[in-house]
Amino acid sequence: MKYLMLICVDESRKPTPEEAQRHRTGSRDWAGEMDSRGVRLQGNALRPVREGRTVRVRNGEILVADGPFAETKEQIAGFDILECTDIAEAVAVASKHPMAEYGSVEVRQFYEP
């Protein structure tokens, strides 16, 4: 089963130098481990939310807003696509990601009709 793992952080919270270093090395280590296990199919960090756009179409008109338009402090900072046997394995994989220490990691199964 395929799962989408969303890495969410509060961009206004600046990590300590120790957290930033742990994230850099931890993310590489995590990705290497999950790649070698064949669990991580793809993943990448995203540019800051201020560079994004939110697109809506209302009554045939395209509406574009700068940045995200979510009422939340945490924003999506990256993603990974996982291949896991079940949700328990996906949660175990997500719990090892270093961003889970000061952000959050959401895991959702792909819809497969």
SS3 22: helix
Amino acid identity at 76: I
Domain carrying residue 91:
2-109
DSSP class of 12:
T
| CATH number of the structural domain spanning residue 98 | 3.30.70.1060
Q: Is the model's pLDDT at 36 over the cut of 90?
A: yes
Pairwise CA distance, residues 104 & 9, whole Å: 7
Work out the percent of the chain whose per-residue pLDDT is above 70: 96
Q: What is the pTM of this model?
A: 0.80
pLDDT digits (tens, 9 = 90+) for 19-31: 888 888 888 999 9
Number of structural domains in the chain? 1
Phi-psi region at 60: left, alpha or beta (left = phi > 0; alpha = psi -120 to 50): left
Look at residue 86 in the predicted model and tell me its pLDDT.
94
